[in-house]
Amino acid sequence: MWGNGADPDRDGLTNLVEFYLGTGPKVLRLSPATASVPGTPFLSIVTVSGQQYPAITFTRRINTGCSVTGAAEWSSAMQTWSSAGFVDFGSVLTLPGGEFQLITRRYTGAQSSTPRVFLRCNVTAAAP
């Protein structure tokens, strides 16, 4: 299968997403999303000044040579998504080889005041 929207390994990640995250489009990912699975976005709870916040960590390709971008997004009901309301958490780590960075984006709504929030990494490509 070819094209940005294809998923030849049927792991739920399209070719475009796998390109951006640096994962193999022909490598089936059955592992849960955790820090131990390189390239797979994972969720966590981080603490800042005694408050807990939801966060998403993902690998992003830098200097792609094309118009592919990724952004952390949130939703309260998984129907409308917004990239507003995120800040970087910790340091952005450039991985060996200089082609990818590991980044954690923290949602600014504290967990205690946000009853339910969903996070995702949305990858898009500009139309040719």
**Per-residue pLDDT at 114:** 74
Asked if residue 7 belongs to a domain, the reply is: no
Q: Find the CATH number of the domain harbouring 106.
A: 2.60.40
**Per-residue pLDDT at 30:** 59
pLDDT in tens, the chain (128 residues): 678 888 888 777 888 888 888 887 777 665 555 554 567 788 999 999 999 999 999 988 887 677 888 899 999 999 999 999 999 999 888 888 888 888 999 999 888 887 789 999 999 988 76
Asked if residue 16 belongs to a domain, the reply is: no
**Per-residue pLDDT at 42:** 87
Asked if residue 59 belongs to a domain, the reply is: yes
Residue type, 10: R
Sign for the CA dihedral angle at 26, 27, 31, 37 comes to negative
CA–CA dist 7, 3 (Å, integer): 9
Q: Which domain holds residue 50?
A: 31-125
Dig out the tokens for 34 from the structure. 């955790």
**Per-residue pLDDT at 121:** 92
Sign for the CA dihedral angle at 6, 122, 52, 110 comes to negative
In sequence order, the β-bridge partners of residue 59 are 102
CA–chain centroid gap for 58, Å, is: 4
Number of domains present in the structure of the chain: 1
**Per-residue pLDDT at 38:** 60
Residue 83 Cα distances to 52, 74, 87, 92, 96, angstroms: 19, 7, 10, 18, 28
Task: Decide: 117 and 76 in contact? Cβ < 8 Å.
Answer: yes
Asked if residue 21 belongs to a domain, the reply is: no
